[in-house]
Chain A
Amino acid sequence: MSKSVAAASGHALWAKMPKANAELFALTYGSLVTELIRDYDSIEEINEQLEKMGYSIGVRCVDEFLAKSEQHGMTVPTCQNLKDTAEVVAKTGFRMFLGISCDVTMAPDGNAFSLFMYENPLALFVELPKTNDMPTAAGGATKKWEDLKYSNLYCGILRGSLEQINLRVSCEYIRDVLQGEEVNEIRVTLREVLQDGAGDDYKEE
């Protein structure tokens, strides 16, 4: 039941959000990744940078999400468990910001879920080079393109936004269409449910 509610809110919010050109979005991200590749020597550093950037976007994203949904009169029901959270993220959140919808599969133990994305607005027009080496600036180790997680930004966004609602998670990109798979898969694993972080100062006296 919650699935269709989340999907319906997603569609409705998407219709009301002001839009920007997706090609511009993809090209900006592409030029950012190009600059990162110019700067950093190892692919791991690039992936890490992308995740960090995603983290700071995610921190602000969740506020935007809650504010916009309230502004348009759409109440997001409180999530009772990780499954509900996953549904809301995939159906409402992704649709509202990116106009795409994702599928969610829960892990059997209920502590993790996988997001499947069939379209990726960040990766429009992108192809990764087939050859495994590329001349690097400093003449360091050759880079292997199969290790590059091009859309690692999403992982950071998920981690950042879920941390703001007290769920500490780790996200990982499992399958990537750019690497030749059929679907983009992100695995989100719940590590810890955080306590409310306000601390003793804010407790009533």
Chain B
Amino acid sequence: MAAPSSSGASVNSQQGSVASGAGNNGAAGDKPSSASSNHNLKSPAPATAAATAPGTNSKASAGQQQQKQPITHVSESAMDFLLTEVLHWVESNCKKIAKEQNLAQSEESQILAAEISAARLERMGYSVGFRLCERLAQNKSIGSSSSQNQQQQSQQDASQAVAASQLEAVKFLCKEFWMEVFRKQIDKLQTNHRGVFVLKDLELKWLARLPANQETARVAAIQLLAFPCGLVRGALANLGIPAVVSCDFLADGQNMAACSFNIKIK
């Protein structure tokens, strides 16, 4: 969907898209923190603020304290702290669940706990990715112009067009979305043009501090990667592409931060 550049019109498109986002989220079943527009911010155009470059906005918010500037950034350490807490909580909560269900031997319950924690992180990542993509994609038009031209052509070209728009969506994911979340772009994107994509990131920030070559670090990394998997799945779902996302940990002893995400479009 293409949004015009004037701030009044972009607010309308924001509300329109947010309403559809809220509708989808209602179907997805979570109630309290719905992605509706924030009535408390006085400034009218958080949508355009999100679209402009990060550097200018941080200066703006530091400079003027009198008028309310929309908050566009927090410090990276705040985000890191929050993430660590989320992981910690998910893990300790799952230990609690495992203990409660400890009818079978401890091995099974541990595996069950690990699966529950991964599923939970993935679910959180899904809702975050879905909503973040909604915000980030507001000003982008992905493949809309090309789809009109393709309508008169044959069946074969239609599937090519679908593949092309999927590729555009994944490229958006790799560039803009990844940039917002991880401050860098995906390092390698591979596809077979039939609905399978492999995204490789060789230096994922969240994994950068893990000690090399330790088994516990490996386990922790795999648990942590459930969140970005959910992010990817949520973002794709918002762009209209249902997919299954799995991740692999590519660390080779030296570089603990390499990982790859496999997207298989349903």
Contact = CB atoms under 8 A, between A and B. Distances in A.
Contact of A99 (B41, B75, B180): B75
B106 interface: no
Contact of A98 (B35, B75, B88, B180): B75
Interface stretch (A80-88, A123-131, A167-175): A123-131
Interface in A19-46: 19-25, 27-35, 37, 39
A31 B73 contact: no
Given A34-B30, A35-B124, A28 B82 contact: yes
B62 A98 contact: no
A18 B54 CA distance: 11
Given A31-B127, A34-B30, A177-B40, A22 B85 contact: no
Contact of B85 (A11, A17, A56): A56
A19 B86 contact: no
Contact of A27 (B39, B75, B120, B132): B132
B181 A31 contact: no
A165 interface: no
B71 A20 contact: no
A61 B81 contact: yes
B74 A99 contact: yes
Given A20-B78, A57-B82, A97-B78, A28 B128 contact: yes
A24 B58 contact: no
A32 B89 contact: yes
Specify the main secondary structure of chain B where it touches its partner.
Answer: helix
A146 interface: no
A60 B83 CA distance: 13
A123 B74 CA distance: 13
A125 to B, nearest CB: 5
Given A15-B58, A15-B62, A127 B75 contact: no
Contacts, number: 153
B33 A20 contact: no
Interface in A105-121: 118-121
A79 interface: no
B76 interface: yes
A129 to B, nearest CB: 6
B12 interface: no
Given A17-B76, A29-B82, A99-B62, A125 B37 contact: yes
Interface string A61-91: 1001000100000000000000000000000
A53 B31 contact: no
Given A31-B127, A99-B73, A20 B58 contact: no
B18 to A, nearest CB: 8
B180 A14 contact: no
Interface string B40-77: 11000000001000100011011001001001111111
Interface string B115-133: 0000010011101100110
Contacts of A128: 32
Interface string B87-120: 0111001000000000000000000000000001
Contacts of B65: 101
B34 interface: yes
A28 B58 contact: no
Contact of B73 (A20, A118, A129, A177): A20
A158 interface: no
B200 interface: no
Nearest to B230: A31
A99 B58 contact: yes
A193 interface: no
A-B pairs, top 10 by smallest CB distance, nearest first, are A30-B33, A20-B79, A19-B73, A17-B75, A31-B124, A18-B76, A27-B128, A20-B76, A97-B78, A57-B81
Given A20-B78, A31-B127, A34-B30, 15 more contacts: A14-B58, A17-B76, A17-B77, A20-B183, A24-B180, A25-B78, A31-B125, A33-B33, A35-B123, A68-B77, A99-B73, A119-B68, A125-B38, A127-B33, A127-B39
